[in-house]
């Protein structure tokens, strides 16, 4: 894409009304715009990144048999009363319609998915199954100061699984755990992300969070130095050492919760009276699990982790474009290379703006595409285009005809 | 996909609490589920159709230079006060956050897009431009009895264009008109869809709706028998004949509004003080247009139009699957063909359920995939698989090895 066709611009200064690094930088670079505290617009660059994160998550959820659906955000009071959460779920945004009907904005969807799936499941033959959605969620947060990491409106992948018995849930729970680590690997977060024990509720002793180390994190986790799992702050007091290996050698670190998985048991199937008939014809309760991961929070987390003082350093898998192309007095050569890259299917953002080289270089670093390609009299004299990776200080000169091959290898 | 892996089921009876044909049928066939009046979940089959409609719309908006973004649903009171619509827009759902901040749920996004784009546009060099989103909208409808055609929560493609002058807007307005007809052509709605004159507001005498003829429509339009454009009910009284050719030979028909386009002029740029500098350095107001089309309403409209007494007849472009495969006592051959079709990239839903042939046939017609392929002792004796189009009573026998070629031609 030509940057002249992109309606957004970059800013030198950070916005004054935003305190988080991720939102400041994403706003400066033209990825997001702030509408209100914790409420952001995804501008074209930001939407591209967000969609790529969603695609990775979707592929891994599909790979473990998740069936995608899309539930409403406007949810009637009655379903929340059924589980006694209307009165007790503080973060619910509540509203009243013209016909005096009361609604909550979906902050999570157990209350919707349970009766929806219950209508479709009659017998053990229909189980187990899992469904998921990637959808906008709303939470009436008191504070919303962490940019994309804690929004009043944000995106969420929420998966729910339904099982005939506990063994089936336990098996699937492990499968989801693996799929989550696969996602964090693809997102470039695997090295900093810890499986973290958290409190479990009535059905299970523990639930699990996926916590990514970051000084910007709102959470503190305690990493077992022996087996490299972690324990969250909430249960550290009652935990006598690591729940996995019993070691007491734990180290506290700041972290961002990028996912969580939870064995729900019959917590939601019971109030909705969701039962199935087993092979002998007996009615039995359905056992549930739930699995959350927020694409917008993941995006904010990656910005917190992958940046330097000049801007963002996107991992290739989710970069808005793979290549940032710019030219010094060599627009003709740059135009030609731009077309060649597009034809070869390389995602390229071409800074064709009427700006000085310093400003173009600053844009390149701020926006943070993995490869910067510069064509200048100097690079041509040296033999072609100068290619530099965003996360490196080294550059190489590549013959203009070989740039596509270079990028594809 | 194997139907045994799909968690939804089909129902013989229409749901009791739903009066519209489109929602009744989509619920019976397992495409949607009803959460509340005018609020539906898209189940896997329905989400596939919805996504295909969105893809077509997206491609045509991209083709005319639309830049995709995604705006929030939670919108602060202040922006609606700026345009004086907080008090006067009846269909706004309003709510209050924990910090006493008031919000409306986005029913349309002029109040959000205008200040967002204004931050990015400084001079005539930045214009014209157009942006769009495909997003969930909320309207506090008094009645919501038309299924997907009038929801309290529904999907909307809303595009907004920004221009340096009226000529630029007029030119783009015509381009969008053409793009809309291209979409309706791809959706199979072109023959029944009329460009319809509607009231225009202060800036322009007329706006335009796209109205698709249907007895289920909530609107009445008046079709000029001479030039085949239409006039909506709202302005028929004041219109002395066809606004296009002046003919008075008009015929009233029921129709569904599937899109609308509107020249906004400075209606929104003025209150937000959105101006640009022209080439001479003078400040000038930005001129706007807006262009709506609802994917979920389009989906409901297609069901209203394309069905028979047995179920839905999806156009190929948006069918959940191209092929519905079923077998009578020939599961092995059907399994083989299923794999061959998948390998060839044909979208196939394979009814591998333990059901009688009558039920499988009823499912095929209800779900409405364009091709039904049946393998039975009779079809094999005749030379292969029986292939029948959903919209035809004729069938042909095709050699099992040639089915893929037959479908691809």
- For A328-353, the pLDDT digits (tens) are 999 999 999 999 999 999 999 999 99
Residue A153 β-bridge partners = A138
Q: What is the DSSP letter of B2?
A: B
Token pair of A25 as six digits: 């930088």
Do residues A341 and A221 both lie within one domain?
no
Rounded to a whole number of angstroms, the distance from the CA of A304 to the nearest CA of chain B is: 22
Domain identity same for B287 and B366:
no
**For B60-104, what is each residue's pLDDT tens digit?**
999 999 999 999 999 999 999 999 999 999 999 999 998 899 999
Residue A340 and residue A288 share a domain: no
CB A71 to CB B126 under 8 A?
no
What does the pLDDT read at residue A118? 97
Q: Which of B278, B308, B338 is the last residue of a domain?
A: B308
pLDDT for B323 beyond 90: yes
Answer yes or no: do B404 and B331 share one domain: yes
Chain B hits for A42, Cβ within 8 Å: 69-70
Cβ contact B347:B360 at 8 Å = no
Cβ pair B7:A65 closer than 8 A: no
Burial classification of residue B233, based on how many CB atoms lie within 10 Å of its CB (0-12 exposed, 13-18 middle, 19 or more buried): middle
Instruction: Inform me whether the C-beta atom of residue B68 falls under 8 Å from chain A C-beta atoms.
Output: yes
B44 to A36: CB separation less than 8 angstroms, yes or no = no
Q: Vertex A156, ends A155 and A160: CA angle to 5°? A: 160
Residue B202: pLDDT band (50, 70, 90) is confident
Cβ distance of A73 and B153 shorter than 8 Å: yes
Name chain A contacts of B101, Cβ cutoff 8 Å: 36
Domain membership of residue B96 (yes or no) is: yes
B36/A65 touch (CB, cutoff 8 Å), yes or no: no
**DSSP line for A197-234:** EEE--SS-SEEEEEEEE-TT-SEEEEEETTT--EEEHH
pTM given for the model: 0.97
- Shortest distance between the Cα of A150 and any Cα of chain B, in A, equals 15
Q: H/E element holding A196?
A: strand A193-199
Structure-token match 């209350």, residue found:
A111
Domains in chain B, number: 2
A62 close to B (CB below 8 A): no
| Domain identity same for B25 and B155 | yes
How far off is chain B from A3, nearest CA to CA, in Å?
Answer: 11
Name, in order, each residue with C-beta under 8 angstroms of A40's C-beta and a sequence gap of 6 or more: A23, A32, A33, A34, A147, A148, A151, A153, A296, B72
Show the tokens assigned to A375: 């064509």
Cα separation, A76 vs B39, in Å, equals 9
Pick the residue from chain B with its C-alpha nearest to A114: B35
In degrees rounded to 5, what are phi and psi of residue A130?
Answer: -140, 140
Closest partner residue to A8 (CB to CB) among B50, B68, B120 is B120
Say what the pLDDT of residue B143 is. 83
- Reference B172, options B294, B292, B293, B289; nearest CA is B289
Exposure string for B29-62, b = 16+ CB within 10 A, e = fewer: bbbbbbbbbbbbbbbbbbbbbbbbbbebbbebbe
Q: Is A173 helix (H, G, I), strand (E, B) or coil?
A: helix
Q: What percent of chain A has pLDDT over 90?
A: 95
Number of A/B CB contacts below 8 angstroms equals 151
Which residues of chain A from 96 to 155 reach within 8 Å of chain B, CB to CB?
97-99, 101, 103, 105, 112, 116-117, 119-121, 126, 129, 131, 136, 138, 140-142, 152-153
Q: State whether B255 and B202 are in the same domain.
A: yes
The model's pLDDT over B138-184, given as tens digits with 9 standing for 90+, comes to 999 988 889 999 999 999 999 999 999 999 999 999 999 999 999 99
What's the rounded Cα separation, in Å, for the pair B395 and B295?
A: 33
Q: Using a CB-CB distance cutoff of 8 angstroms, which residues of chain B are in contact with residue A103?
A: 36, 93
Residue A40 has a pLDDT of 98
Of residues B42, B75, B99, nearest to A35 (C-beta) = B75
- Minimal C-alpha gap between A51 and chain B (Å): 11
Question: Based on the domain organization, do B149 and B279 belong to the same domain?
Answer: yes
pLDDT at residue A186, rounded to an integer: 98
Do the beta carbons of residue A220 and residue A252 sit within 8 Å?
yes
B179 in the same domain as B237: yes
**Does the structure show a pLDDT above 90 at B402?**
yes
Does the residue B316 lie in any domain?
A: no
> Residue A145 — very low, low, confident or very high, per pLDDT cuts 50/70/90?
confident
Maximum alpha-carbon separation in chain A: 81
A339 torsion bin: left (phi>0), alpha (psi -120 to 50), beta (else): alpha
Considering only CB atoms, which chain B residues are within 8 Å of A9?
120
**A315: in domain:** no
Distance in angstroms (rounded) separating the CA atoms of residues A196 and A148 = 22
pLDDT in tens, B288-306: 999 999 999 999 999 999 9
Q: How confident is the model at residue A280 (pLDDT cuts 50, 70, 90)?
A: very high
CB contact under 8 Å between B35 and A129, yes or no, is no
| Residue A171: other Cβ atoms inside 10 A | 11
Q: From the CA of B11, how many Å to the nearest CA of chain A?
A: 10
Residue A22, SS3 per DSSP: helix
- Considering only CB atoms, A47 lies closest to which of B70, B79, B93, namely B70
Alpha-carbon gap, residue A330 to A30, rounded angstroms: 26
Do A212 and A286 reside in the same domain of the chain? yes
What's the CA gap between B107 and A342, in Å, rounded? 38
What is the spatial distance between Cα A273 and Cα A105, in angstroms, rounded to a whole number? 23
The dihedral through the CA atoms of A311, A314, A320, A322 has a sign that is: positive
Q: pLDDT digit string (tens) for B5-58? A: 999 999 999 999 899 999 999 999 999 999 999 999 999 999 999 999 999 999
Q: Are B150 and B300 in contact (CB under 8 A)?
A: no
Confidence of residue A202 (pLDDT cuts 50, 70, 90): confident
Q: Which of A282, A308, A334 is the last residue of a domain?
A: A308
Which has the closest alpha carbon to B193: B307, B316, B298?
B298
Percentage of chain A surpassing pLDDT 70?
Answer: 100
Q: Is the pLDDT of residue A3 over 90?
A: yes
d(CA B156, CA B53): 11
Per cent of chain B over pLDDT 70 is 100
Residue B349 lies in a domain: yes
| Domain-located, residue A313 | no
Cβ contact, residue pair B44, A33, below 8 Å: no
The yes-or-no verdict on residue B409 having pLDDT over 90 is: no
Contact map slice: A 21-60 vs B, CB within 8 A: 30, 33, 35-36, 39-44, 46-47, 50
Q: Determine whether the interchain pair B97/A8 forms a contact, defined as Cβ–Cβ distance below 8 Å.
A: no
Question: At a CB cut-off of 8 Å and minimum separation 6, what does B170 contact?
Answer: B263
B347 located within any domain: yes
Residue of A nearest to B120 (CA): A8
Chain-chain contact of A39 with B76 (C-beta, under 8 angstroms):
yes
Task: Write out chain B residues lying below 8 Å of A6, CB-based.
Answer: 67
The residue of A69, A94, A123, A135 whose CB has the most chain B CBs within 10 angstroms, and thus the best one to mutate to test that interface, is A69
Q: Which of B10, B16, B35, B109 to mutate to test the interface with A (most CBs of A within 10 A)?
A: B35
Residues in B closer than 8 angstroms to A126, CB to CB, are 7
CA pair distance A286, A269, nearest whole angstrom: 6
From chain B, pick out residues whose CB is under 8 angstroms from the CB of A119: 33
Residues of A in contact with B142 (CB under 8 A): 98-99
pLDDT of the residue at A266: 97
Neighbours of A132 (CB within 10 A): 27
pLDDT of residue B348: 98
Separation CA A91–CA A194 (nearest Å): 27
At residue B47, the 3 state secondary structure works out as helix
B157 with B209, same domain?
yes
For tokens 């015929």, what's the residue?
Answer: B251
Listed residue (A36, A177, A380) closest to B116, CA to CA: A36
Q: How far is CA A199 from CA A229, A231, B84, in A?
A: 15, 10, 48
CA distances from A147 to A18, A152, A292, A294, B153 (A): 8, 10, 19, 13, 27
Residue B321 has pLDDT above 90, yes or no: yes
Least confident of A16-25, A56-65, A139-148, B212-221: A139-148
Q: What percent of chain B has pLDDT over 90?
A: 95
pLDDT of residue B142: 86
The predicted pLDDT at position A174 comes to 98
Q: Which residue's structure tokens are 């270089």? A: A361
Range of the domain at B332: 321-408
Q: What is the CATH number of the domain that holds A356?
A: 3.40.50.800
Backbone φ, ψ for residue A157 (5° rounding): -95, 115
- CB contact under 8 Å between B47 and A39, yes or no, is no
Burial category of B224 from C-beta neighbours within 10 Å (exposed 0-12, middle 13-18, buried 19 and up): buried
Q: Do A136 and B136 touch (CB under 8 A)?
A: yes
Backbone phi, psi, residue B334, to 5°: -65, -40
Q: Residue A71 and residue B120: Cβ atoms within 8 Å?
A: no
- Element at B22 (helix H, strand E): helix B21-28
In a domain, B313, yes or no: no
Q: Of B42, B119, B152, which has the smallest distance from its Cβ to A74's Cβ?
A: B152
Which residues of chain B are within 8 Å of residue A77 when distances are taken between CB atoms?
Answer: none
Interface of A with B in 286-315 (CB under 8 A): none
Considering only CB atoms, A67 lies closest to which of B7, B35, B69, namely: B7
Q: What is the DSSP string of B190-249?
A: GGGEEEEEEE--SS-SEEEEEEEE-TT-SEEEEEETTT--EEEHHHHTT--S-TTT----
The CATH number that applies at residue B123 is 3.30.930.10
The Cα of A39 is separated from the nearest Cα of chain B by a number of Å equal to 7
Taking only residues 245 to 284 of chain B, the set having a beta carbon closer than 8 angstroms to any beta carbon of chain A reads none
Residue A344 sits in the same domain as residue A235: no
Within-domain flag for A314 = no
Give A298-329 pLDDT, tens digit per residue.
Answer: 999 999 999 999 999 999 999 999 999 999 99
Interface mutation target, options B13, B64, B95, B155, chain A, most CBs of A under 10 Å: B95
Residue ending a domain, choose from A281, A308, A335 = A308
Structure tokens at B210: 């796209």
Whether residues A260 and A355 share a domain: the answer is: no
Query: Does the beta-carbon distance from A36 to B76 stay under 8 Å?
Result: yes
Q: Which residues of chain A are within 8 Å of residue B36 when distances are taken between CB atoms?
A: 72, 74-76, 101, 103
**B320: DSSP letter:** S
Chain B interface includes A353 (CB < 8 A)? no
């Amino acid at each position: 894409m030509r940057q002249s066709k992109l309606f957004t611009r970059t800013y030198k200064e950070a916005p004054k009304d935003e305190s988080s690094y991720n939102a400041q930088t994403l706003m400066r670079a033209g990825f997001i715009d702030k509408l209100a505290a914790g409420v952001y617009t995804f501008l074209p660059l930001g939407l591209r990144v967000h969609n790529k994160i969603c695609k990775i998550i979707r592929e891994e959820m599909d790979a473990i048999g998740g069936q995608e659906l899309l539930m409403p955000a406007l949810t009637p009071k009655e379903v929340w009363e059924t589980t006694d959460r209307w009165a007790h779920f503080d973060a619910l945004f509540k509203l009243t319609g013209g016909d005096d009907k009361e609604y909550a904005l979906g902050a999570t969807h157990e209350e919707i998915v349970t009766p929806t799936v219950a209508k479709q499941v009659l017998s053990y033959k229909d189980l187990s199954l899992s469904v998921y959605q990637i959808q906008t969620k709303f939470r009436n947060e008191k504070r919303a100061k962490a940019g994309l990491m804690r929004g009043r409106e944000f995106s969420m992948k929420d998966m729910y699984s339904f099982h005939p018995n506990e063994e089936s849930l336990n098996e699937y729970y492990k499968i989801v755990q693996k799929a989550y680590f696969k996602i964090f690997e693809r997102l470039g977060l695997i090295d900093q992300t810890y499986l973290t024990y958290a409190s479990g509720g009535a059905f299970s002793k523990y639930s699990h969070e996926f916590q990514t180390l970051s000084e910007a994190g709102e959470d503190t986790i305690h990493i077992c130095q022996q087996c490299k799992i972690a324990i969250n702050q909430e249960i550290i007091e009652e935990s006598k050492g690591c729940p996995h290996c019993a070691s007491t050698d734990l180290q506290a670190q700041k972290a961002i919760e990028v996912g969580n998985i939870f064995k729900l048991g019959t917590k939601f199937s019971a109030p909705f009276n969701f039962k199935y008939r087993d092979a002998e014809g007996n009615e039995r309760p359905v056992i549930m699990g739930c699995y959350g991961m927020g694409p917008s929070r993941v995006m904010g987390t990656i910005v917190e982790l992958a940046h330097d003082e000049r801007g963002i350093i996107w991992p290739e898998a989710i970069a808005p474009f793979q290549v940032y192309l710019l030219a010094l007095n060599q627009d003709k050569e740059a135009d030609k290379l731009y077309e060649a890259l597009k034809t070869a299917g390389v995602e390229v953002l071409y800074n064709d703006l009427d700006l000085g080289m310093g400003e173009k270089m600053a844009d390149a670093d701020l926006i943070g595409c993995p490869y910067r390609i510069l064509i200048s009299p100097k690079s041509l004299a040296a033999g072609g285009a100068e290619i530099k990776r965003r996360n490196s200080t080294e550059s190489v000169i590549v013959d203009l005809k070989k740039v596509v091959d270079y990028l594809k290898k």
